[in-house]
Chain A
Amino acid sequence: MPHNLKQARHDSRSAWHGSCDRWHGQALAQSKPVDPAERVPRGPGHVEPRRAPTLRAAAMLIALAAALAGCEAPVKIQPGLSGARITIQAKPKSGYHRPVAGVSGVDPYGMSTPASVDDEVPQTGAFALVDYDHLDDIVVWLEPQNRVTPDAVPPDITLDVATPDPAGPPLFATGVGGVLRVRNTGRRAESVYSVSEGNEFDLGALPAGGMARSTLHRPGVVEVLLDSRNEPLARVYVAPSPWVRRARGGQSVVFADLPPGAYRAACWHPRLPGTEQNVQLRADQLTRVTLVVGVDALARSR
């Protein structure tokens, strides 16, 4: 299965978790261990404790709505191992008021606020705004603090040399030791290479229908280049850990069956600074972590 398809499926699963967290309106405490009971599904078929009939009906309705909305599945963790659910929040600069057509100058509570200065200009073309509600291309990973990752294999990536993506080079994510495969699905030979420091490779001229591979050895961004194009074929973020996923703002990603211990949860975005956090994963528990992507992560300087 092509990696982008796998990634898309993974993304849809992650969106599923993320929307559920929002739907339940749960406040996600940072690094808060979750009670194992919380892992029990609250969907149809689950036996709830005795409650008043109205409450029970309401609970059933909520569960049904959650199921219809495609919400949270239970996270199964192997006995003795641990897991983490990392939620990503993408935030604009503090103090920034995103303009809303027709209602600028008044917030949802009817309070008067300073109108954004962007209200008078188009928000398309060069003035297109960063969409923090649907911020894409966030890479999130969990890295053991003792740097030991027993038996863990980072995700492989398969790139197709097809027509260029008008939205720009797509982003993929893997960890150190991850394998990059490039398949030439075009009609002519393509020269594929990288000069990104620590991850240099030259796959030579790939004939039409041919495939070649390279292992990525160093954390950082790898630009996969083609002789025939000015823009890179793709960018790959190599995380310092095999436990890595791509995510969007507002989503949650789950890493299950990890050895208990001390970890560093971190995220990266091509433009905006990410944050990191130390977490302690305990056996038989799912730990929740919230990471923020946004410019406020930088120290202010003039």
Chain B
Amino acid sequence: MNRHVSFRRVVPAFVAALAVLSLARAGQDEPAATTSQPANEAPPPGRVTGRVTAEAGKTLPEMIVYLESSEPNRRFPAPGEPAVISQKGAKFQPNPLIICVGQAVEFRNDEDRPIEHNVFSRSPARTFDLGLYKPGVDKRVTFEQPGAVRLFCSIHRYMDGMIFVCPTPFFAKVGADGRFDIADVPPGSYRVKTWQARQRFKEQTSDVEVTSGQAAEVAIEMRRK
């Protein structure tokens, strides 16, 4: 009962405070907003779909299609949760891992036997050496530059993996039929790009305009030149 009483008191006070703030803002020299849409409400996103084919009917390698904003200063928030790479069985899993610029990756030594690893990368997009560490220990790295990052272990000769750091959170794996679908894309101008984990063709680039609530269709042909 008391809680209801206090709530009744707090709500009118909060509304009054908001009214005072609104009056104060109205007194400033800023022009009054003329749009009927609240400023923080983004327009509905669009999507980019399409199909990738290879010249002369060749088989497509494992690949992704991703978007890069045509506006150089446009930034998109990275997922707050880190991605996780397992090292069990002296193998990096998943491999390859696709993340977004600004996202962190947790390198988890989850071996069920007392095996230490030394994960490192010397790729230009991110150079690091996590040192020797034992099971039960996780180490975290944040990736601030787009590009491919090759992973190795300095102890185990066949232990290698790949992270592709995408410049935006908008990417999709290409299916066996060549189809891809990138959803929830804010309207704007983008470059559509390809990335192959094991490169068999030249990477391709094309432009696309994403409009609110619409799907833009893109056809990509992978070629050697």
Query: What is the interface of chain A, defined by CB distance below 8 A to chain B?
Result: 92-93, 95-96, 116-118, 120-121, 126-131, 193, 195-196, 200, 202, 223, 225, 227, 230, 271-273, 294-296, 298-302
Query: What is the interface of chain B, defined by CB distance below 8 A to chain A?
Result: 58, 89-91, 113-116, 118, 120, 122, 127-132, 134, 139-141, 152, 154-160, 198-202, 224-225
Report which residue of B89, B129, B140, B200 has the largest number of chain A beta carbons within 10 angstroms of its beta carbon. B129
Cβ A298 vs Cβ B132 within 8 A: no
Chain A residues whose CB sits within 8 angstroms of the CB of B90 once the complex forms: 126-127
Docked pose: A3 CA to B122 CA in angstroms: 30
Please name 15 pairs of A and B residues whose Cβ atoms are closer than 8 Å in the assembled complex, sorted by A: A93-B131, A96-B132, A118-B115, A120-B113, A121-B113, A126-B91, A127-B115, A195-B200, A195-B201, A195-B202, A295-B120, A298-B120, A301-B127, A302-B128, A302-B140
Of the candidates A96, A126, A225, A302, the one whose C-beta lies within 8 Å of that of B200 is A225
Report which residue of A230, A273, A296 has the largest number of chain B beta carbons within 10 angstroms of its beta carbon. A273
Cβ B116 vs Cβ A117 within 8 A: yes
Of the candidates B58, B122, B129, the one whose C-beta lies within 8 Å of that of A300 is B129
Of the candidates B134, B141, B156, B158, the one whose C-beta lies within 8 Å of that of A302 is B141
Name the distance in Å between B134's Cβ and chain A's nearest Cβ. 6
Q: Which residue of A lies closest to B90 (CB)?
A: A126
Cβ A126 vs Cβ B158 within 8 A: yes
Chain B residues whose CB sits within 8 angstroms of the CB of A120 once the complex forms: 113-114
Docked pose: A298 CA to B200 CA in angstroms: 30
Cβ B140 vs Cβ A92 within 8 A: no
Docked pose: A223 CA to B14 CA in angstroms: 67
Docked pose: A223 CA to B58 CA in angstroms: 18
Chain A residues whose CB sits within 8 angstroms of the CB of B113 once the complex forms: 120-121
Docked pose: A294 CA to B116 CA in angstroms: 17
Chain B residues whose CB sits within 8 angstroms of the CB of A196 once the complex forms: 199
Chain A residues whose CB sits within 8 angstroms of the CB of B131 once the complex forms: 93, 300
A96-B155 contact, Cβ under 8 Å, with A121-B114, A227-B58, A301-B127: yes
Cβ B156 vs Cβ A127 within 8 A: yes
Docked pose: A298 CA to B122 CA in angstroms: 7
Cβ A126 vs Cβ B139 within 8 A: no
Cβ B202 vs Cβ A230 within 8 A: no
Cβ B122 vs Cβ A273 within 8 A: yes
Name the distance in Å between B9's Cβ and chain A's nearest Cβ. 50
Cβ B199 vs Cβ A126 within 8 A: no
Cβ A301 vs Cβ B154 within 8 A: no
Of the candidates A93, A126, A294, A302, the one whose C-beta lies within 8 Å of that of B159 is A126
Name the distance in Å between B83's Cβ and chain A's nearest Cβ. 17
Chain B residues whose CB sits within 8 angstroms of the CB of A272 once the complex forms: 152, 154
Cβ A118 vs Cβ B155 within 8 A: yes
Docked pose: A118 CA to B198 CA in angstroms: 31
Cβ A92 vs Cβ B154 within 8 A: yes
The 5 A-B residue pairs with the shortest CB-CB distance, nearest first, are A301-B128, A117-B114, A295-B154, A126-B90, A298-B129
Cβ A230 vs Cβ B198 within 8 A: yes
Cβ A202 vs Cβ B155 within 8 A: no
Of the candidates A126, A200, A300, the one whose C-beta lies within 8 Å of that of B225 is A200
Report which residue of A120, A129, A200 has the largest number of chain B beta carbons within 10 angstroms of its beta carbon. A129
Docked pose: A295 CA to B119 CA in angstroms: 10
Chain A residues whose CB sits within 8 angstroms of the CB of B155 once the complex forms: 92-93, 96, 118, 129-130
Report which residue of A118, A128, A195, A299 has the largest number of chain B beta carbons within 10 angstroms of its beta carbon. A195
Chain A residues whose CB sits within 8 angstroms of the CB of B154 once the complex forms: 92-93, 96, 130, 272, 294-295
